A and B are shown apart, each in its own frame.
Chain A
Amino acid sequence: MAPADTTRSARRNGHEPAAKVDAPEPSQSRSRSTSLLDRAWRELSGLVQRRIPRADLDERDPDYIREQLPLFWLFSSIWFRGEVRGLGNIPDEGPVLLVGNHSGGNMIPDTMVFTVAFSTYFGVERAFYQLAHNLVLSLPGLSWLRKFGTVAASPENARQALTSGAALLVYPGGDYEVHRPSWQSDRVDFGGRKGFIRLALEQDVPIVPVVAIGGQETALFLTRGERLARLLALDRLLRLKVLPVSLSLPWIVNVGDFGHIPLPAKITIETLPAIDLRAEFGPEPDVDDVYDHLMRLMQDALDALAAERRFPVLG
């Protein structure tokens, strides 16, 4: 696939900056195009970009969600013994930005437990979207995620969802946080990503922090493999900054985490009171101040959840 095609696909999904990174400088392109490896990577990148579905909020299907809820309720209740507290803290209606700490590798058990709880609490009639990494949406066999309201993570998609009055779940830490080592399970780590705060300010919507624990015990996560990812140029081509290594079932040693069987770790999620940024920080809030405040709030909540746990996995 030519770089121009990749750019177009990326733009179609609302990824302007990523597309620019993908397009090489004209002077460099001649020397680089000779590299077979580079071309193969670009081909793969194009393949992934092509597979990412056009972000269409209308793909969310309430009837489908309703019919699937019993299945996910079974997983959530029996496998993960899920416990979601404080959903009453989410405003009953109107757009809201739910900001979570992300755990559990690519199997995203915390997202599943939260989505089931949210959908049954507010009903499938309330529009609810989740931002996910491009790669997740392009994996074969995961197209049903779109019917659940999962859209590719981009500022444009987030804006669209909030403008439509929906609740939007974002994990600013994303792939960086979700693959942190298991011994950092009780640490909120967004890696300094603050775009979600600017989004909340721009759209003037409240932020509701969603703090989860347990996901990092569904496998033994060893390292994010950031150096490995850089070495293989994954960051440039697939927007992947990590190539995680973990010990998990059934692979034992799992590199890249293209799926695994999560251990039945207890997942507890606490929804904190909604924060109206302008009411708390004045008419022109400083993004860094909001970020620090939010980190403190979420870390405190996570510390409390961690203190409740007696054993790993068992909870």
Chain B
Amino acid sequence: MRVNSSIVVNAPVDSVWSIVTDPERVLSYMSGVTRWEVVGDLPRGLGARYRMLFRIGAAEVGGLIEVVEFTEPTEFAWTSVTGLDQRGRWRLREAPGGRTRVELRLAYGVAGAGLSGWIAERIAAPSVSRHVRQTLRQLGRLVEHEQLRERAARRRTGASHS
């Protein structure tokens, strides 16, 4: 089952990129995610591994995931190593007016689970979809808030220099 959603954020693509690829910040905007821990020595980049969990229904599902695409500052994709089969992707594109179009895609399922797997995927879909949209909204707010603070800080330093 694949779920995706997109949003246009009032911030340059680099600012969005620095947030979505920072494992320390995932819990602050990713809705439904209860765990996102670095596994191994590489915290960020191609091959980085995280142990993640996502609350859905009566369980927290997820497992070990690995970053399989890391093209600065546009493509960030991961795939599952253990646990629930999943692929995820952040797709960032420049939009007119110095803004960024952010898309989040999640594909999930359990190979070999048969009919019950098919049903479970569909039962979970509305909830996953809600979390994806909520994640984008929270990410948008976070990035735009940081832009605001940065601009204010720049103004203050500019004012003190003049």
On B, residues with C-beta under 8 Å from A are 53, 56-64, 82-84, 110, 112-114, 116-117, 119-121, 123
Contact call A120/B59, Cβ cutoff below 8 A = yes
Q: Is B112 touching A120 in the complex (CB atoms < 8 A)?
A: no
Interface size of A by Cβ–Cβ distance < 8 Å? 25
Q: Cβ of B60 and Cβ of A81 under 8 Å apart?
A: no
CA distance A270 to B60 in the complex (A): 14
Of B59, B116, B119, the contact of A121 (CB 8 Å cutoff): B59
**Could you give 9 example pairs across A and B, Cβ below 8 Å?**
A63-B112, A66-B113, A67-B113, A67-B114, A68-B116, A74-B119, A76-B59, A77-B57, A84-B58
- A205 to chain B: closest CB distance in Å? 23
Q: Which 10 A-B pairs have the closest CB atoms?
A: A77-B57, A82-B58, A71-B116, A70-B120, A76-B58, A77-B58, A120-B59, A70-B117, A70-B113, A67-B112
Chain B residue nearest in CB terms to A69: B110
List A residues at the B interface (Cβ < 8 Å): 63, 66-71, 73-74, 76-78, 80-84, 87, 113, 116-117, 120-121, 123, 125
* Chain A facing B: main interface SS: helix
Q: How far is the CA of A313 from the CA of B56 in the complex (A)?
A: 22
Contact status of A73 and B57, CB under 8 A, knowing A78-B123, A123-B83? yes
Contacting residues, chain A, for B123 (C-beta < 8 A): 74, 77-78
Among residues of A, the one whose C-beta sits closest to the C-beta of B61 is: A120
Let me know if A70 and B110 touch, CB within 8 A: yes
Contact A73 B83 (CB under 8 A): no
Nearest-neighbour CB distance to chain A for B52, whole angstroms, equals 12
Scoring B58, B119, B120 by chain A CB atoms within 10 A of each residue's CB, the highest score goes to: B58
Q: Shortest beta-carbon distance, A213 to chain B, in Å? A: 14
